[in-house]
Structure 1
Amino acid sequence: MTTHSPQPVRPGYGLTVADAMDPCDYQIADDSTVDQANDVLRGADIEYLLVRDHDGRCEGLVTRTGLHPFLASSWYTERTAISATSHQRGPFAWPTMGLALAAFAMRIKHLAVWPVVDEDGYILGVLTAARATGLLAVTPIP
């Protein structure tokens, strides 16, 4: 007689990134300047902007903290394109990715926010570490 030990039950089993992602209302083109990005960040009182390339695909994510070195001099803010800054770039999450896997990847990469893209690289939304962790913590175990 063969005995099978039960498979470990994982929290969040079956949840995907699509279950936890939020829309992202604020985006900026990669050829926009640091000054323009800073204006949007301050005006909207947000911490990050998704960056899209000339085709509309996700190019990355820029944060207020990432812009600090460029904001020290007005020359940099007026002439430096976002694409020339050091900011979070791919790979990105996709909606069918398991939420537990995405949360694990975010912990390893020290990401608070991770862009979610479709198979062609277009922005669908964002996954925040807080939302992923919170959803995994309250999901009933099947």
Structure 2
Amino acid sequence: MTTHSPHPVRPGHGLTVADAMDPCDYQIADDSTVDQADNILRSAHIDYLVVRDHNGRCEGLVTRTGLHPFLTGSWYTERTAVSTTTHQRGPFAWPSMGLSLAAIAMRVKRLAVWPVVDDDGYLLGVLTASRAAGVLDAVTTP
């Protein structure tokens, strides 16, 4: 016998981060230099790079804004590693996380981009605030 819930499903309920995440084409190793990261960001015309540790696991995100103090400081050398910069670090989103919850967490943390990782910490993609909002809006708009 099949039963049905008497309560209607809330809009957006059941959507997960996997439904809205995008692939991430640009990554950099944590021992790469600030100069290398800056060169990639500028030449690819992108706003962020995912940072990987020596095992290939996601360590965080580095942005142009995060690199700025290192590129303009008189103490700066071209040997400064990305791992020594102030950049967004975990915890990260996971694909089975509810999309509504992820959108709230991003808003609270003021994140424009949030890496999505598997159970072992390897990057699966990224969730952007604009993409999450767009997917949620699409299911709530008649």
TM-score using structure 2 length: 0.90
Match of 2:33 in 1: 33
What amino acid is the match of 2:16? T
Provide the residue aligned with 1:132 in structure 2: 132
Point out where structure 1 has 5 or more consecutive residues left out of the alignment: 1-5
Whole-Å Cα distance in 2 between the matches of residues 21 and 38 of structure 1?
A: 25
Is the contact made by 1:34 and 1:76 (CA closer than 8 Å) also made in structure 2?
no
Q: Is contact 1:66-1:86 (8 Å) kept?
A: yes
Q: How large is the RMSD of aligned CA atoms in angstroms?
A: 1.6
Question: What number of residue pairs does the alignment pair up?
Answer: 136
Any residues of structure 2 matched to 1:42-81 within 5 Å, and which? 42-73=42-73, 76-81=76-81
Greater mean alpha carbon deviation, residues 77-86 or residues 12-21 = 77-86
Q: Structure 2 counterpart of 1:112, which letter?
A: A
Tell me which stretches of 4 or more aligned residues in structure 1 moved more than 6 Å: none
2:22 is the alignment partner of 1:18: no
Residue number in structure 1 paired with 2:120: 120
Identity, in percent, stands at 78
Give 1:46 deviation, angstroms. Answer: 0.1
Separation in structure 2 between the aligned mates of residue 74 and residue 40 of structure 1, nearest angstrom: 22
Q: Secondary structure at the match of 2:119?
A: coil
Determine if the alignment matches structure 1 residue 105 to structure 2 residue 110.
no
- Structure 2 gap segments, 5+ residues each: 1-5
